[in-house]
A and B are shown apart, each in its own frame.
Chain A
Amino acid sequence: MDVRTLGGRSRSWRRRGRVLGGLILVLAVGVLGLGMALGQLSTAGEFLRWLVAPWETRWSREARAVRAQVEAPRSVEALRAENERLRREIAKLTIDQVRFAEIEQENRRLRALLHFTEAHPYYTVRGASVVGEVIGRDPSLVVQRFILNVGELQGIRPGMPVVTDTGLVGQVIRVHKTTCEVLPITARESAVNAIVQSSRLTGVVEGQNSDTLVMKYIPVDRPVQVGDLILTSGLGSVYPPKLVIGQVIRVQRHDYDMFQEAYIRPTVDFRRVEQVLILTDFRPNPELQGAGKGTSKTGSVEGDGASGDAGTK
């Protein structure tokens, strides 16, 4: 065959490849536009999710086992066990510290307000919970989600708070038959009404898609100290009150500002979350939930699970 013909063929093949590639790209952008108009491909996704969930569970367990093997050489096994014991102890002491400080504060308040009765019985958490296992994470940097191996069949509903023994993880935002998706408090769309434990100053803790959170809209009446513990306030009824969120690591305050900001390190290590508790008995205030729907910035992305005034921005 003539060399020129060969060259010509390969050039036309390349040109055709580029044109086809460009066409697919245009098509993809078209799908994006269509998606914006029609919402998500929920039915196909539901089926695919049901299909792959068992594999996700199995493979993520295998991967965790591999990770554990790599991280723990036999020669330092004892050190690891000791480290683990100390970690648990620190976590337990932190929780105890929070609990004692809360009891002390509560005692003081109750002495002052002897006839005070709780106006919102919905906030009661009766301890019922479902243990979920993290079986996946969203590969996108922009969207942060955990996938748990429990869903509608286990009684999970959108809006349920998710915690670990060390603190608040986030909120269930979408539920499938056997899996559910959790919006962690570190996600940019997340916002939690919070309180500084020592000074009782309130604010809103927002995620930044990174390891730190920022607490905004804190009045400047009293200073926030580095090391202060931040808890959920229960306002807005999206999360129950008194769940530990994290500890203040930096405070930003200017004389001309009406509010101060505090940067928070969460007590939960989000890189290593493996098992979580879903509080199934928490009853969000239905009125506030309804009122909050209009403020959801993410709209169709979050679906109905994103309701609540401070659940999602």
Chain B
Amino acid sequence: MRGRSSRGVWIGAGLLAGVVLVILQISVVPWLSIKGVYPNVLVAVTVAVGLHFGPWEGVGLGAVLGALVDVLLGHPAGFLMVPLGLAGYASGLAHRRVLESRVLVPFGMGVVAAWLDLLAQFAVATMWGYGGRWTVAQMRWAFFYALFTGALAWGFFLLLLPVHRLQRQERLRVM
């Protein structure tokens, strides 16, 4: 009984944190841009969680965050949910390699996930009939955007390290 209620609290807290992250991405991050480029906090957090906890958690968080933005901004259902879910899944697959390099893996995965997210968005937008060609300026923007998001993913990865350690200790104790 207690386990179930504590799970509910965790889910509630997670959803609240998700809403806070989404508001941060929509209303705060654009104002903190450098030369018009700003990172994607949602992709960065999804990558960090995926790397630490695996594909199930990565895709779950990505899909929830994406769905929140879709609902909030009136996007077609799944417009950001699928790309963010994909990004979370891809980073979760690198879960086993995460301790090989604590800089390169999270940073590289952040860059890859940012691109994956963009390409998936583009594919979904084309499905919906408002895709189109990418301009050189957009490609340049996307390049710096991915680097920026990768750096942020690395930051979130470091922030989550203590949680990861605690979880591993807990798992070992149970076994």
- Check if A35 sits within 8 Å of B76, measured CB to CB: yes
Interface size on A (CB < 8 Å)?
A: 69
Q: Is A140 an interface residue (CB 8 A)?
A: yes
Report A311 CB to chain B, min CB distance, Å.
14
- Check if A60 sits within 8 Å of B92, measured CB to CB: no
Per-position binary interface string of chain A over residues 38-55, scored 1 when its CB falls under 8 Å from any chain B CB and 0 otherwise: 111110110011001001
Report B42 CB to chain A, min CB distance, Å.
7
Report B162 CB to chain A, min CB distance, Å.
21
Instruction: Report the number of A-B residue pairs with Cβ-Cβ less than 8 Å.
Output: 195
Among candidates B75, B81, B175, residue contacting A9 with C-beta atoms closer than 8 Å: B175
- Check if B23 sits within 8 Å of A55, measured CB to CB: yes
A161 to B31, CA, bound (A): 24
| Of A77-85, A87-95, A141-149, A219-227, the one with at least 4 CB within 8 A of chain B | A141-149
Q: Is A105 an interface residue (CB 8 A)?
A: no
- Check if A138 sits within 8 Å of B26, measured CB to CB: yes
Q: Is B160 an interface residue (CB 8 A)?
A: no
A-chain residues with CB within 8 Å of residue B89 when the two chains form the complex: 21-22, 25
B-chain residues with CB within 8 Å of residue A42 when the two chains form the complex: 74
Known pairs A40-B75, A139-B69, A297-B130; A59 contacts B80 (CB<8 A): no
Per-position binary interface string of chain A over residues 1-31, scored 1 when its CB falls under 8 Å from any chain B CB and 0 otherwise: 1000010010000101110111011011101
- Check if A21 sits within 8 Å of B81, measured CB to CB: no
List the 8 closest pairs (A to B, CB-CB), nearest first.
A35-B77, A32-B78, A21-B55, A63-B31, A136-B26, A60-B27, A210-B137, A17-B56
Residue positions of B touching A, CB distance < 8 A: 19, 22-33, 36, 40, 42, 54-60, 63, 66-82, 85-86, 88-89, 92-93, 95-96, 118, 121-122, 124-125, 127-132, 135, 137-138, 141-142, 145, 175
